[in-house]
Structures are given as structure tokens and as C-alpha cells.
Amino acid sequence: MKVRVLVRLKPGILDVQGAAVKRALVGLGFTELTDLRVGKVIEVELDAATHERARERVGEMCRQLLANPILEDYTLEMVDDLAPRGAVR
């Protein structure tokens, strides 16, 4: 089972990295850009009997290590596993 974890800085926490990337894009002419924040994607593969169990375990991983609750929020999504391994998605 594969779970994709999205970790991002909480709203209200200044994202200096996002601000720098935004400035660079505006410099490239993307003047319609209004906001940009940088986060992290972590893909976790694990053995779990059900989606619920997988979410529960990965949620625990986030609480213990993958995210720092002082600075970051996280969301989990199940990765659709219908495509064969190695297929380009």
C-alpha cells in the first residue's frame, strides 16, 4: 500500500523559501502569481490490510517524525495503485 504524505508549513508561518521562489517566478514574467508556498512530498510504502490501517500507521509516523507539529501540517492521500510498478504516471 502506498501513502503520499504532504507536509507544509502551517498557515501564518513565514515561508522564506516560497517567497524566494515566488520572486524568481515573478522575475521570469509570471506576474499573475499571487502566492506560492513550498512543501514536501514523502511517499511511504507499507504492508497494511486496509486503507484505514495504512492511514493510521502513516499518521502515527507523521506525529512521531515526518512532520514537526510546531511548524508543519500534513495531509495523507492514498496513491492509486492500479498502474503497474514502474509505469510512467
Partner 1 sequence: MRFGVVVFPGTWSDCDFHYVISEVLHQPVRYVWHRDRNLADLDCVILPGGFSYGDYLRAGAVAGKSPVVEALQDFIAKGGHVLGSCNGFQILCEARLLPGALMRNECLQYRCQPTHLVVENVETAFTRGLRLGQVLTMPISHGEGKYHADPEPLRALKEKNQIVFRYAEADGRVTRAANPNGSLENIAGIVNPAGNVLGLMPHPERAAEAAMGGTDGLLLFQSLLGSLVEDGSFLKR
Contact residues toward partner 1 (CB under 8 A) are: 13-14, 16-17, 20, 64-66, 68, 70-71
Q: How far is the CB of 30 from partner 1 (least distance, A)?
A: 20
Q: How far apart are the first and last CA of the chain?
A: 17
Nearest CB to partner 1, comparing residues 18 and 79: 18
Classified as helix, coil or strand, 40 is strand
Alpha helices in the chain (DSSP H): 16-27, 51-61
3-class DSSP state for residue 38? coil
Min CB(3)–partner 1 separation in Å = 16
Between 48 and 66, name the residue whose CB sits nearer to partner 1. 66
